[in-house]
Structure 1
């Protein structure tokens, strides 16, 4: 999720070569892989918890991005390191908040609330009437999703919203990193720092909660499915479709998350929740499309 967003935010155009259909297939595969990875990660929660899974995922992401980006860390200036370190903190916090939210409130609801982050960033400063309508519709959908009930997990909802805030900050910081460090060097450095931060954290968690072979396999699979596969798929997709199509297509992720949560984790949303998910997905897509049309 985060890797695909960074690719979309730094890309401006897509070459005219290649198949548009192949690009759509790659984008769909990226989103599906991301959500299946999150669901597989949840299977390891009972053994090593969200923190242990996130630590392993961060290590996998760092290895994948360092291999692809090959940043020259010794050449970074202080002005370049500042946003890189900020991005690393946001990256680590976002994934931990999201995975803990998934454990508490389910995959579909957690991912849907997280998508308020990019929606908010897209709406900031907008004065278009269409965007105002989308903002109000999304707000109403959030009210429906978080309506107080005897079983409402407010901490889980709060963590999902924290993940949304982190995603918004991630987008803004990534733009700064992209300006100061062209290419993948800045993102790779951020992933490396985040992975280093999780070394003592992950070591402590895994020492106190020794992973079984199954839990370790799930955590590693989550790292590959939610980091390495989307990263490669997004790079290939952006060669075939315009970047703004990529951003709009990302809006389907909450639907994929809800479907995967139902099939893999047996987490079922009621009809009203499905409608709210649809409203938030539509708001994201419409805002993304109109912002490009208006030159935003």
Structure 2
């Protein structure tokens, strides 16, 4: 795929930044945008901000990655994968931003993180894998009963965001294999904007055209979509997924910090401990998963070696 000059310049600029710095920049961008968006909720509503964010982000990503229309028709399954990814992005964003309107951002980010956490544990068949699961369960219990009451509707919305984000991770993996660069991401975000348009326009109305609302939405689109998605794409080219997983485990803590600093959302000490427990559980799951994959590769090599050894005498005869 032919990249735009902007994409080439972005790759050159990020090439001078250490890969962990790219991931941490993406983590901070996502949570900063989520904390900044509620400034215009009274005028445009959460759905209105989500629609504008996705629309602006989709346009910017298309300019950055120059998606080719023929790619959807020439690659088998590409169209369906992009449609599914966009639908999951739309569901995630609507649920996440509505949840932030009901419960603290740190709590939302922690519960949302259970989506990728569940994927990290999926398929585990070892007793030791129950350790991070138990840590995460304990963290959620501390978060829910740690002192600051959490609205049940906000908890339900955050759980919905977790399910959508976990599904998006699975779908986006297929999308990345079928469409080169970030063109699949750009098309998925555009489709997500189309899906959220009815809700956003109905909730925001003419306020969506207000310069102040548009300015906040543009900032959120760049900080929470264009920048982190692009930074993560560059980081994953230069670092193992295990390390990437460890660094993204900081998202719940980053959400709690930005929620406190920007929105003034207070949490009790037990709830901070719960957030830390979920983050540590994710780190543990990442390392245990890496060890399990390494052991599987060793067993596979051993099996291949035994089969080769068994065949050699027959071939010599």
Specify if TM > 0.5: yes
Distance (Å, rounded) in 1 between the aligned partners of 2:122 and 2:157 = 22
Normalised to the residue count of structure 2, the TM-score between the two structures is 0.80
Which residue pairs with 2:100 in the alignment? 102
Which residue pairs with 2:20 in the alignment? 24
Residue 69 (1) aligns with residue 65 (2): yes
Residues 199-247 of structure 1 deviation map (CA, whole Å, 9 limit, x = unaligned) = 3443333325456443332222111110122133324434543332122
1:273 paired residue among 271, 274, 282 = 271
Which residue pairs with 2:30 in the alignment? 34
Change (3 A) 1:275 1:149: closer
Change (3 A) 1:235 1:87: closer
Q: Which runs of 5+ in 1 are unaligned?
A: 1-17
Distance (Å, rounded) in 2 between the aligned partners of 1:31 and 1:150 = 25
Q: Shift of the alpha carbon at 1:289?
A: 1.9
Residues 158-191 of structure 1 deviation map (CA, whole Å, 9 limit, x = unaligned) = 0000000011111111122223334323222211
Distance (Å, rounded) in 1 between the aligned partners of 2:156 and 2:207 = 26
When structure 1 is superposed on structure 2, of 53-62 and 214-223 the one drifting more is 214-223
CA contact (8 A) 1:44 1:215 kept: yes
SS in 1 for 2:77: helix
Residues 115-138 of structure 1 deviation map (CA, whole Å, 9 limit, x = unaligned) = 000000111111233321111121
Which residue pairs with 1:241 in the alignment? 239
Higher relative contact order (CA 8 A, sep 6+): 1
Q: Show the 5 A alignment for 1:251-262.
A: 251-262=249-260
Bigger Rg, structure 1 or 2: 2
Q: Which runs of 5+ in 2 are unaligned?
A: 1-13, 295-317
2:142 paired residue among 141, 144, 147 = 144
CA contact (8 A) 1:113 1:164 kept: yes
CA contact (8 A) 2:44 2:205 kept: no
Which residue pairs with 1:50 in the alignment? 46
Change (3 A) 1:183 1:211: closer
CA contact (8 A) 2:146 2:269 kept: no
Normalised to the residue count of structure 1, the TM-score between the two structures is 0.86
CA contact (8 A) 2:25 2:231 kept: yes
CA contact (8 A) 1:41 1:218 kept: yes
Aligned residues: 279
Distance (Å, rounded) in 2 between the aligned partners of 1:168 and 1:180 = 19
Distance (Å, rounded) in 2 between the aligned partners of 1:38 and 1:169 = 20
Distance (Å, rounded) in 2 between the aligned partners of 1:107 and 1:285 = 21
